[in-house]
Structure 1
Amino acid sequence: MAIIISSFKNLINKINNDLGDFCEEFAYTRKKLANLGKAPNRYILFKYEIEDRDWAINEGGGVEIQYHIYLRNGELGYGLGFNTQYVPFANDKTPIEWMKPYDDAFLTLLENNKSQWESLGFRWIEGDEEMLRSPENGSYTLFGKSTSLENNTLNDDFYNQMLSDFKGSLFDIYQDVFSLKNNMIYQQELKKKDMELINEVVELLKYKHNIILQGAPGTGKTYNTAAIALSVLGITDIDLTNHEKVMERYKSLQDNQIFFTTFHQSLDYEDFVEGLKPHVQTDETGQSIGVTYEPEDGMFKLACRAVQTDETKDIVECIDDYLQTIKGFSNKKEIPTITGNSSLYVWWNEGNATISVRSVKSTSKKKEDYTPSPLNIEKVKLQATGKGSENNWQQYAQAFIEAVKNAYKAKANKPVVLILDEINRGNIAKIFGELITLLEADKREGSSHPIQVTLPYSKLPFSVPLNLYIIGTMNTTDRSTGSLDYALRRRFAFVTLKSNVEVIEKYYDGIQNQNLKSIAVALFNDIKAFIETPQHLSSELDIDDLMVGHSFFMAATEQELFYKIKYEVIPLVNEYINDGILNVKADEKKNAFHAWESLTIIEKETTA
């Protein structure tokens, strides 16, 4: 049989009528997907009001992916359309801005489903992929099916297939595009929030130079330091919300522009700043002849020195090259001392293991090439790389090293980040010593009130460069240590990272596991409600200090989530209870833990 099309309007009315209950299903589905206040006309799919139009779209589809049907030049076509021709009422965005999220979602799905969709008979009727990828104002693309008409007669099989597509394949694609678009926008909003946090913390870090990220376990303190570090270093060519990319770049900059250490109760000044370390001495045959103790740089000093180190220059090679320019007393050079108050003559007699050094103020009457302060070349190189020192004449050795750096432009002033994990677990006075004052921004080298100290072991002058940025992390629930040293607290700004359910949702959307997402989110909300119940929560700490971090609720499988809840979350909450941080009755505790171990929420008591 065939269908005679007397007018396009009559065809639209017939389609709406034959679709029956699907029109209502479509309306309520779109209401949910588009987050509308109320459903549009649920008795029709296509709206047709202007008599001379040869096309129609679904009710309300002007600024969305749309069901589209047309009849022109003896051809009937239908499918999913993408329109950037007009925006009748939503003028807060351009037509392209309205449609681009739908375009991107469709193209993403097309990449994985193209062969399947083509096997169903769908193709580009108007435009193509490239047009959808780079839309212009006034453009229109249509992905669907079409057929030619003879004498306005429509094949009955084509008509029935069209109705089937509207209710089946096209509806599935329509929903998938809308859902993916919603998720992509949601992910973009989360990324925007992540970047707002990163940018806010980075601005604070640039101002204060020292910050501490504090929060309960699992809130992402250590996790976030990587992105913050890269941002303050000026890294702009990667997505700082993409943790995989962030860690890849982070690792490439470790021990160059990023330094990391964890504070603990055994850490001291000798480990962190500088200390005497044993060095085995050997004779010409390689046999040990004893042990000497020489100053060696710790993590803090290495990070400070990295600010002025040009990693494109090998300081050891620069020293070797410099020696060639001062061969013989006749080629001696005058270099400034570390303090800049005097000068030194330096020269090298080829073949010697030492560099000849003498103050320009020397009044010795011995021969002119007499050197009372020879520098061991190998030890100078060790001092230059922070692996040892010229223990006899350290200040002269440092003056020589600075002269080499200046000669070969091996000095820089690049930003460097030092991350101090678990900063509250260390004995601050024992670790920083006299350098605590130098941390302040205005006491640093190059600031308005620079302060310099002489280090106790190397006897070298030392200051903290302005371009060193320190990020500490601190667990607010850790009671195994005392409160953070007030001297340090004054010199740091504090940023509290809160447990965030949106991070959990983002994670499960990323791995496309909505079932596990619902379980994890329900557990998160239930445990949060349990902790912040007024009868439970101690007045000393608030929910941001105690709420179990979102990372504990992010798992690849239900088994992994079970392990995290049973062996990490429950013991942590139990510790809160045992320490008196939470006031919970025994039966309440038993019921809660039993429910959480089963990955369910606590049953609420009901009253008759």
Structure 2
Amino acid sequence: MLTETYQQPLLDSIRVIDHPEAVRRFFGLLKELIDIVNLPNGDARLVFSPSRREKGVISADINFFQALRIQRPPHRRTGRGEVEYHLTVKKSCQERLASIEELVFEPITEKSDYVAVIIGQSNAHLLTHITLRSCWEDCLLELVESNKRGPHSARHNSDVYRAAEDEALLSDLIRLADDPTLAERGQNGTTVEEPEADYETESASAQQPHNLILFGPPGTGKTFALQPYLQDGNASLITFHPSYSYEEFVEGIRPEVLGNQITYRIRKGIFHKACMSAIQLAGYGTLADCLNDTPENRHRRLRKAPAHYLLIDEVNRANVASVFGDLITLLEADKRLGAENELWLTLPYSQERFGVPMNLFVVGTMNTTDRSIALLDIALRRRFSFREMVPDPGVLPIIDGIDLPQLLRTINERIEYLLDRDHQIGHAYLTNVTNQADLCDTFRDRIIPLLQEYFFNDWSKIQLVLGDNPSWGKDPEQRLIWVRKKYTASATTRLFGEIPESVDEIVTYEINPHLHRSEYDQLPVETFIRIYQKPTL
């Protein structure tokens, strides 16, 4: 939440700049700077601030060096007093950039090894110039390692950092800068500080388990269920994959090239950043500030703070026990910072103290076709709540005389009988179907390939699922899966000259050629009706 002390100078600067597009472009650059230097909000090496002396100036300093700046000068330089972007590069880069005539270079100080590259808004396209970006990014990495100057007199404004990370917050700031009466009219709750007594968040998070996994077959709306968490901006989203590791999730050492030398720096992962975002919602600048507070204050502030959500799609595609590592204990609700039995530990790479705040909620999705819940690590199962997402045929319509709800129920009942409930087909496969042609596309491109994967190309079982087996009574032209050829003993002999040993009766199959060639007008509507409705003889 914004505080009035920090908010007003930032709003004043945005108002003087008076160019929403330029402000958004600057904060986009600032977000890239944050990702490159990989330092959290509140780190002593960063100072992001609106200028106290000059209106319409916002700057980002690293180790007391100006690294990035936006301003609207009252005079000359770019000719029309337009908005300017200042990117710091090493002096040695001037020769590489000399061919770009529109650039203006300005020494930061008389003896500095760095210069500011000034770009006017009318030439903003140059901000993506590959040479300029390379020079700027190399300079940022060098500035992080520098400790040549200090102390710095500017005060870090955490709202500048947050606005770079949070698009919704930046939009609120731009709107409020344009119309200050929004705060008075109460139309923008995120930009108005509330009294601490009213700062309660009992609604959604009160009923929300701290650790929750939504599980079910594909197409049951698991990922869609994550969307509401993303609407207020207090959420981080990641998708797990088989090679995902603890070093990417929490922290790890990564090689980087700095001045033609390979260096190794500790980079924070998304889980660490999510924990930082959560404690900052409680008013702490860093984890150290939180841990140095009294237990009573920590409990009070974290309990009242808004929730931050870490959303993990496809959580079971990674080795979850390996990714969480020693943090698995800290995930427990009563072991989180601010809880009754709070714990923290020392991270292996940075040697920093670390805990999981109680206002961080972890929500994952799990596709049961990849792995059953029974196969998950027992420690993980004990720490997470599980909520099954099942196919919901009731959301589907009847189109062109085809009862899609009954179609889905019948197919899933057959799959559950032949395989298990974890391999059913979700309603999302059919939610966008509005006519028979759409249904044909869905079966050809999505459902039949999925059944091939489920049954390992056992076409006889796929026929059973689709009602194409001879005993169901469909007319041959109504079947989606056709028998192409049955190899009798004589046919096999003609093919090989003999009958191979240990070969049972062989049957080959093919997808209905009309379906395969998109000749949907050649497929009668009964092709799909007869999947769930047995023909009367």
TM-score (norm 1): 0.40
Greater gyration radius: 1
